[in-house]
């Protein structure tokens, strides 16, 4: 199935500068209380270290999310993250999955969140993504896949399997503040639209019977 199956931009951040407000909400705070910051119609770190989540709806169980990484972060281990299947947000026991896009696009990681602690699943991958590329996350069953859009097409960066968390959840973003030069835009996603597998309409095939079978 091609990624993504949806095209819904949930937030393009085209409004006055300031901290994110409803329907964004605090998913998990590592330091501080301010959600991420809108600056010139794009999103950046706010000085806090918080996973923000889109509180308008839950999605899934099969879910996809995407965001434009307008400017890559240059540092290695402080996000940003694009997150999905987030569960128990705002309780101190946040669970879910994220794709981290770090180190100037040279370090992508798939993470599992347990009580706010993140565990990297498998190897760090280097897709050499450039500023301006989009990042995507898709969770189908127990398969978590990171995608990259390079300006022309989407391609899979890495896939990991993890069955710890299933069911519906929220989409979200994490933005650390060790590097406030990064910028995100056009956050979107939704429940994966399944291929219905409906049979294709039958083709009408015309046969020309041999003459000997024609009755006149």
Partner 1 sequence: MATSWFICPYKRTPNTRVPQRYCAMDDFTPQILADGGDWSESEVLGGYALVKVRASDITLTLIAGTAGFQRIPNSLRLTDTLGSLTNGQLNAINNQLLAMGYTQSEITAALGNNFKSRTLGQVLRFAASRRLKPRYDTISDAIVLDGPVQTCKLVDDVDSEVQD
Chain contacts with partner 1 (rule: CB under 8 A)? 30-31, 49, 75-79, 109, 111, 114-120, 122-124, 161-164, 174, 176, 178
**Which CB sits closer to partner 1, 29 or 68?**
29
Nearest distance in Å: CB 190, partner 1: 26
**Which CB sits closer to partner 1, 5 or 166?**
166
Nearest distance in Å: CB 137, partner 1: 17
The 3-state DSSP class for residue 2 equals coil
Nearest distance in Å: CB 87, partner 1: 13
Helices (H), ranges, 23-70: none
Residue 133 main-chain phi, psi, to 5 deg = -70, 165
**Which CB sits closer to partner 1, 155 or 161?**
161
**Which CB sits closer to partner 1, 119 or 128?**
119
Nearest distance in Å: CB 15, partner 1: 27
**Which CB sits closer to partner 1, 23 or 92?**
92
Nearest distance in Å: CB 115, partner 1: 4
Pairing mode, if any, of strands 81-87 and 42-44?
unpaired
Residues 6+ apart with CB under 8 A from 84: 59, 60, 63, 64, 65, 96, 97, 98, 137, 138, 139, 169, 170, 171, 172, 189
Nearest distance in Å: CB 192, partner 1: 22
Query: What DSSP string runs through 97-108?
Result: EEEEEEGGGTEE
End-to-end CA distance of the chain: 52
What are the E-state strand segments in the chain?
Answer: 9-11, 18-19, 24-31, 37-39, 42-44, 49-54, 63-71, 81-87, 95-102, 107-114, 117-125, 134-140, 143-149, 154-161, 170-175, 183-191
**Which CB sits closer to partner 1, 22 or 163?**
163
């Amino acid at each position: 199935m091609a990624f993504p199956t949806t095209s819904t931009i949930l937030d393009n951040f085209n409004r006055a500068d300031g901290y994110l407000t409803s329907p964004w909400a605090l998913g998990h705070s590592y330091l501080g209380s301010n959600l991420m910051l809108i600056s010139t119609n794009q999103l950046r770190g706010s000085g806090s270290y918080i996973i923000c989540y889109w509180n308008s709806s839950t999605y899934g169980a099969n879910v996809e999310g995407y965001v434009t990484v307008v400017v890559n972060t240059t540092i290695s281990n402080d996000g940003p993250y694009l997150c999905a299947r987030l569960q128990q947000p705002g309780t101190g026991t946040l669970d879910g999955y994220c794709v981290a896009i770090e180190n100037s696009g040279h370090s992508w990681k798939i993470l599992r969140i347990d009580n706010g602690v993140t565990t990297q699943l498998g190897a760090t991958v280097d897709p050499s993504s450039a500023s301006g590329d989009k990042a995507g996350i898709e969770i189908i069953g127990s398969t978590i896949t990171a995608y990259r859009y390079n300006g022309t097409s989407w391609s899979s960066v890495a896939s990991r399997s993890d069955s710890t968390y299933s069911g519906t959840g929220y989409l979200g973003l994490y933005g650390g503040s060790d590097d406030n030069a990064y910028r995100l835009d056009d956050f979107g996603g939704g429940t994966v639209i399944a291929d219905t597998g409906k049979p294709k309409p039958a083709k009408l095939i015309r046969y020309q019977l041999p003459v000997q079978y024609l009755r006149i």
